[in-house]
Amino acid sequence: MKSNFLKVPSRLGIGRPAVGFVILFLAAEALLAGLIAPEQTALSPAALLEKIDENAVPGNKIMVSSMTIHGRRGDRTVKSKSWIEGDDKAFTEYLEPPREKGIKMLKLGDQLWTYTPAADRVIGISGNMLRQSVMGSDLSYEDMMENRKWSTIYAAADDGTETVLDRPCRILKLTASVPDVAYEVRRIWVDESRFLVLKEERYGKSGRLLKTLEVGEVKQMEGRWVQTRALFRDVLKEGGGTEFIIESVDFEADIPEVLFSKASLRK
């Protein structure tokens, strides 16, 4: 399936890409929070990466989002609502379809739990389980949990320029500077005036391309540039990737602290 994402007008905004609970930790807490920034020029690669990190720092928010999984046997759409506080607390409840309704996820720091009502079980996700697919999508739990600032784990270098979504982008090549990263190398296409990542490639230690991200739309919401649609793809899987769409966002929302507890998973 050939992607048409780069042919549509701008729209998703996280300095680093993400959707619902999932989006937020894609590319890092991947698809949200970009404050409108003035035009910047001649930033060093390291300084530009720090600006992207600053844009990606999330506050409190409540999001409704959907992901459509374009599998080899057809498409399937899952809708969810997420409550997010900072970069280390997130609670997500799946709303649709009926088969997935009521499934919940809780992230506290580097810990993750899921609850399935059919089995009435809370399961901790760790170790090799982190590499498993989230709801059959192209995103792994490891992708979703990724929340460290890129400037602390990657060294950045310029790697060219290109236009994406009619926006001039600067390409950065990020090479891991610490050993415990999911991707040894990343290439990111950055809208330098908004500090938004509009496209990304993720590579393993062997140099093999593993996953890609293409932003399809960017919108201004509550004074922020928000990446509201993106296609995430595991290139080692069959199918057309997973499309993430942010339907609504309530920034700086009041969220009860009790929500971020394992007890909330069974409620």
In this structure, is residue 17 part of a structural domain?
A: yes
* C-alpha to C-alpha distance for 44 and 121, rounded to whole angstroms: 49
* C-alpha to C-alpha distance for 153 and 162, rounded to whole angstroms: 25
pLDDT given for residue 41 in this prediction: 55
CATH number at residue 161: 2.50.20.10
* C-alpha to C-alpha distance for 154 and 80, rounded to whole angstroms: 31
pLDDT given for residue 37 in this prediction: 40
Both structure tokens of 117: 């009502």
Question: Which residues touch 84 (CB under 8 Å, ≥6 apart)?
Answer: 21, 24, 58, 60, 61, 62, 63, 90, 91, 255
pLDDT given for residue 144 in this prediction: 85
Both structure tokens of 57: 């720092």
In this structure, is residue 132 part of a structural domain?
A: no
| Neighbouring C-beta atoms of residue 183, cutoff 10 Å | 20
pLDDT given for residue 21 in this prediction: 38
In this structure, is residue 86 part of a structural domain?
A: no
pLDDT given for residue 57 in this prediction: 58
In this structure, is residue 101 part of a structural domain?
A: no
* C-alpha to C-alpha distance for 93 and 80, rounded to whole angstroms: 6
What is the tally of structural domains in the chain?
1
Per-residue pLDDT of the chain (267 residues; tens, 9 = 90+): 444 443 333 333 444 443 333 333 333 334 443 333 444 457 999 999 999 988 875 678 999 999 999 998 899 999 999 999 988 899 999 999 999 999 999 999 889 999 999 999 999 999 889 999 999 999 999 998 887 889 999 999 999 999 999 999 999 999 999 998 999 999 999 999 999 999 999 999 999 999 999 999 999 887 788 899 999 999 999 899 999 999 999 988 899 999 999 999 998
In this structure, is residue 217 part of a structural domain?
A: yes
| Domain, as residue range, for 159 | 5-74+137-255
In this structure, is residue 112 part of a structural domain?
A: no
In single-letter form, the type of residue at position 231 comes to L
Count of residues making up the chain:
267
Q: Is 34:192 a contact under the CB 8 Å cutoff?
A: no
In this structure, is residue 266 part of a structural domain?
A: no
Q: Is 198:167 a contact under the CB 8 Å cutoff?
A: yes
Sign of CA dihedral 122, 128, 131, 136: negative
In this structure, is residue 79 part of a structural domain?
A: no
